[in-house]
Amino acid sequence: MKRDYKTIELTALYEISKILGSSLNLKTNLRGVLRVLSEYLDMKRGTVALRKGSEVSIESAVGMTADEIRRGRYKLGEGIIGRVAKHGSPIVIPNVGDEPLFLNRTGARKKIKNEDIAYLCVPIKFKNETLGVLSVDRLFKGGLISFEEDLRLLKIIASLIAYSVKLHNEMEREREAFIEEKNKLTRQLKGKYRVENIIGQSDSMQEVFEAVHSVAPARANVILRGESGTGKELVAKAIHFMSPRAKEPFIKFNCASIPEGLLESELFGHEKGAFTGATAMRKGRFELADRGTIFLDEIGDLPLSLQPKILRVLQEREFERVGGEKTIKVNVRLVAATSRNIEKLVSDGHFREDLYYRLNVVPIFMPPLRERREDIPLLMEFFLDRFNRENGKSISITTGVLDILVNYEWPGNVRELENAIERLVVMSKGKKITVTDLPLDIRHGRSRSASLLRGTLSSTVEEMEKERIIDALEKSAWIQARAARLLGITSRQIGYKIRKHKIGKTR
């Protein structure tokens, strides 16, 4: 009994629609479509080739081995498949054995001269975009054959495939975007905790981040301990902006940066006429920080005479301005920081024990950079990117330079690394920073203190004096009078020594 071609065609289209809607596995679905073409419509050796950039490669096939499928790769315009993919128009070859454009690259038709094979190839198009090519073989034995019906059906099937391919491509793009975002977040959140604007993946920095996350929502006072340049101010800001006080003021003050005679006025304000030059009432830092956070840096340098007033603010939340009698109430959270051995200051009588215990509710220790070397490449990359943008450059660092930077002691910690990278970017004349661009001390893996072990006795003494002056200036925010007091010399003497050693401000 002769089969009704229309019925077979409708049945095939129904089966193909079911297959394409059955799962999200594109390769499996395409193989199912080609099987239907083979079983219902006597089309042999079917393939679906998909376009990827300027190339078209077979994604799924029936009647071919895995090796033959792998060989099915074409450039746009190359062979029949490449032409259909490039121009988006179907091509019918009545007998591929007589067609020079048919490449038989897969080798699937080894006996092509002994078979009469028609080859039908239609574009898989979504709107005006060609996504790939559907091709099938038809066997025939002599005579003229009309391929119009076959071509019409293949166009319908190709349009059904196009929707599946487009959906698959969109899902792949979304998946890749999701994976990229996930990887980005993973890089940013390597540990359990992260703090805005602070870079660190080492275990010691993760402990700092954990402490910040724990203490930020509370009202407790915090003291940040660690060497100069380790990022204590950044952590203080993080504590404030992660706390319920985030929308209120964050006031910072360096206790070593103001002459002792002005400290009380700076911290607590003064009334008009309180002293010569006090021409108007002025609010102090504690008053400005009301409902917010005050960050007192280098609190170990706070004069003993002022410490009782700080203690009163912490205990009673009140004070009077200099020259005033009115008691002012404030609600302030204190975050303090010091690079000094505050316990020794207490034992030596330079710091009040009761204030120490009031401050030391939650201590957070900032590790020096030499104890978290795994963070150096991240910090270096961050600073390099920043200073490249600021200076309109695109400078990179060689592996040899990175190795040296990781192994250097960094006595100035993150601040020294930041300054070093900025200097290298600004001074670089090429596109890459090499080992010869590094300062000698860094190049040879020596810290400043290590360099003091070399040279003659007189040069060593000179270097030691210079280092002590720089250290005092850094602790005094480069105020010479304050640094002179720390060194036990006069302002005139320190001015002479600064000129003698050609000391310039480094921050």
Report the distance separating Cα 172 and Cα 166, nearest Å. 10
- CATH 3.30.70.20 at 5-174, yes or no: no
Domain boundaries, the chain: 5-174, 203-367, 370-500
Buried b (16+ CB within 10 A) or exposed e, 385-401: eebeeeeeeebebeeeb
For the chain, give the mean pLDDT. Answer: 84
pLDDT value at position 178?
82
Residues 57 and 49: beta-carbon distance below 8 Å: yes
pLDDT value at position 485?
81
The third-level CATH classification (topology) of the domain covering 370-500 is: Helicase, Ruva Protein; domain 3 (1.10.8)
| CA-to-CA separations, 403 to 373, 424, 442, 443, in angstroms, rounded | 11, 16, 11, 10
Count other Cβ atoms within 10 Å, centred on residue 103. Answer: 15
Residues 351 and 307: beta-carbon distance below 8 Å: yes
- pLDDT bucket at 236, cuts 50 / 70 / 90: very high
Asked whether the domain spanning 370-500 has the same topology as the one spanning 5-174, the reply is: no
Residue 444 or 271, more confident:
271
Lowest mean pLDDT among 127-141, 191-205, 306-320, 412-426: 191-205
Report the distance separating Cα 499 and Cα 492, nearest Å. 11
Superfamily of segment(s) 203-367? P-loop containing nucleotide triphosphate hydrolases (3.40.50.300)
- pLDDT bucket at 101, cuts 50 / 70 / 90: low
pLDDT value at position 507?
44
pLDDT value at position 258?
84
pLDDT tens column, 460-493: 567 777 878 887 887 777 888 888 888 878 888 8
Lowest mean pLDDT among 139-148, 178-187, 251-260: 139-148
**Share above pLDDT 90 across residues of the chain, in percent, rounded to a whole number:** 45
pLDDT value at position 445?
66
CA angle 496, 502, 507 (to 5 degrees): 110
Lowest mean pLDDT among 162-176, 212-226, 241-255, 453-467: 453-467
pLDDT value at position 451?
43
pLDDT value at position 372?
92
pLDDT value at position 106?
62
pLDDT tens column, 371-401: 999 999 999 999 999 999 999 999 998 888 8
Q: How do beta strands 293-297 and 333-338 pair?
A: parallel
- pLDDT bucket at 277, cuts 50 / 70 / 90: confident
Residues 268 and 286: beta-carbon distance below 8 Å: yes
pLDDT value at position 304?
92
Report the distance separating Cα 224 and Cα 335, nearest Å. 8
Residue 456 or 138, more confident:
138
Residue 61 or 4, more confident:
61
Count other Cβ atoms within 10 Å, centred on residue 151. Answer: 15
Report the distance separating Cα 466 and Cα 497, nearest Å. 8
pLDDT value at position 140?
64
3-state class (DSSP) for residue 169? helix
Mean pLDDT of the region 294-304: 94
The token pair at 507 is 């921050």
Residue 57's nearest CA partner among 81, 38, 41, 89 is 81
pLDDT tens column, 204-235: 998 999 999 999 999 999 999 999 999 999 99
Distance of CA 306 to the CA centre of its chain: 43
Residue 104's nearest CA partner among 137, 135, 77, 72 is 72
pLDDT tens column, 135-167: 988 876 554 456 788 888 899 999 999 999 998
Residue 412's nearest CA partner among 382, 448, 446 is 448
Q: Is the pTM above the cut of 0.75?
A: no
Residue 374's nearest CA partner among 229, 205, 202, 186 is 202
pLDDT value at position 384?
93
Residue 197's nearest CA partner among 225, 237, 249 is 237
Report the distance separating Cα 270 and Cα 485, nearest Å. 25
pLDDT value at position 191?
44
pLDDT value at position 450?
44
Mean pLDDT of the region 413-420: 93
pLDDT tens column, 300-343: 999 999 999 999 999 999 999 999 989 999 999 999 999 999 99
pLDDT at 412 over 60: yes
- pLDDT bucket at 424, cuts 50 / 70 / 90: very high
